[in-house]
Amino acid sequence: MPITVPTTNPEVVVRIEHFKMAFARRTVINDLSFTVLRGETFGFLGSNGSGKTTTIRALLGIYRATSGDLLIDGKKFTPDNGTRLGYLPEERGLYKKESVIDVMTYFGRLKGMTGKDAQRWSAKYLERVELVDQSTARLDRLSSGQQQKVQLGVTIMNHPDLLILDEPTKGFDPVNRRLLLDILDEQKRLGTTVMMVTHQMDEVERLCDRIVLLKDGGAEAYGTVAEVQDRYGGTTIRVHYAGSIPDSPQYVVSLRERNYAELEGADGVDPAAILTNLVASGVSVSQFTTNRRSLDEIFLAIYGDERRTVSP
């Protein structure tokens, strides 16, 4: 779905326009366009093989685009203007035979911090994520989740203007996942623009202002979370009941369990009318709620049975 984006706008941090990426005879991305606005959290979504990581690598100059424009603050990215950008790649890259504090200090200096400031910032961060007792340990002695915390710290050092995160909660248990999401909330309050790849749809609904969903090399859906939800099915009716839900032209039963069902109302049918007819049919309804269709349901509707895993 080609999308026209403005060529100049002071609020646009990332602009991707008419981007095409082909490897030999295989086209991965074809005429993709979208923008990421200053200060927002933007969800970059898609199924296995849809081209998310490929797009990020082309944006950062790791890949050369076949055609199109990929700009950050109106310019092609170069390492020289990368000190205000934090990138958390899918493939983590740290010096695992060095100590945690030495690695963090080293990357802080690469980002323009003094060694003293980088060490001070790192110590404070490690205390925040409950790794201060591991500051002198070699990275390869840490668990994968602990290494991920260090990688995140390296990414957000020096308070970058733009964060690009590829599956940031990968490998985290629920407690540490919540900690990471809280840290991202803090970054946003500081004015950081966040562009994130994730397959955790609850994260998207909580954090993201706008999203783009890739399919077949282009943008299948693009807009605010609410706009995408409205486009793909409106509301879902959740019913807790006793008895038997009858078939009806007013709705389709999308999920049926003992004493619980989810209904998708037909176009133009008032949910109140569905409730009235359920009761009239002898269904004992104890709870009846309507909600926008979740992004998880929309993802499944768009991508079918494809596995929700990260890929180029």
Ordered per-residue pLDDT tens for the chain, 312 residues: 444 444 445 699 999 999 999 998 889 999 999 999 999 999 999 887 888 989 999 999 999 999 999 999 999 998 777 678 999 887 777 888 999 999 999 999 988 899 999 999 999 999 999 999 999 999 999 988 899 899 999 999 988 899 999 888 877 888 888 888 888 888 888 899 999 998 888 888 888 999 999 988 899 999 999 889 888 866 789 999 999 999 999 998 988 998 999 998 887 888 999 999 999 999 999 999 988 888 888 888 888 754 433 334
Q: Are 3 and 221 in contact (CB under 8 A)?
A: no
Question: Residues 274, 213: one domain?
Answer: no
Question: Residues 210, 262: one domain?
Answer: no
Q: Are 33 and 16 in contact (CB under 8 A)?
A: yes
- The residue among 191, 209, 227 that closes a domain is 227
Strands (DSSP E) contained in 89-197 are 162-166, 193-197
Residue 200 domain-assigned (yes or no): yes
Residue 5 domain-assigned (yes or no): no
Residue 258 domain-assigned (yes or no): yes
Structural domains counted in the chain: 2
Question: Residues 212, 122: one domain?
Answer: yes
Question: Residues 219, 265: one domain?
Answer: no
The Cα 292–Cα 234 span in angstroms is 6
Q: Which residue has the tokens 């596995």?
A: 307
CA 175 to each of CA 130, 178, 194, 196, 244: distance values in angstroms, whole numbers, following the listed order: 12, 5, 22, 20, 39
Amino acid at 34: F
Left if phi > 0, otherwise alpha if psi is -120 to 50, otherwise beta: which for 152?
alpha
Question: Residues 159, 197: one domain?
Answer: yes
Question: Residues 49, 158: one domain?
Answer: yes
Q: Which residue has the tokens 């009941």?
A: 241
- The residue among 227, 243, 263 that closes a domain is 227
Question: Residues 87, 166: one domain?
Answer: yes
Structural domain of 165:
12-227
DSSP structure class, residue 95: -
The pTM (predicted TM-score) of the whole model is 0.79
Token pair recorded at residue 260: 């619980």
Question: Residues 44, 152: one domain?
Answer: yes
Question: Residues 241, 223: one domain?
Answer: no
Helical pair 144-156 and 115-128, crossing angle rounded to 10 deg: 130
Those residues whose C-beta lies under 8 Å from the C-beta of residue 237, and which sit 6 or more positions away, are 251, 262, 263, 264, 265, 271, 274, 288, 289, 290
CATH number, domain containing residue 113: 3.40.50.300
- The residue among 227, 244, 262 that closes a domain is 227
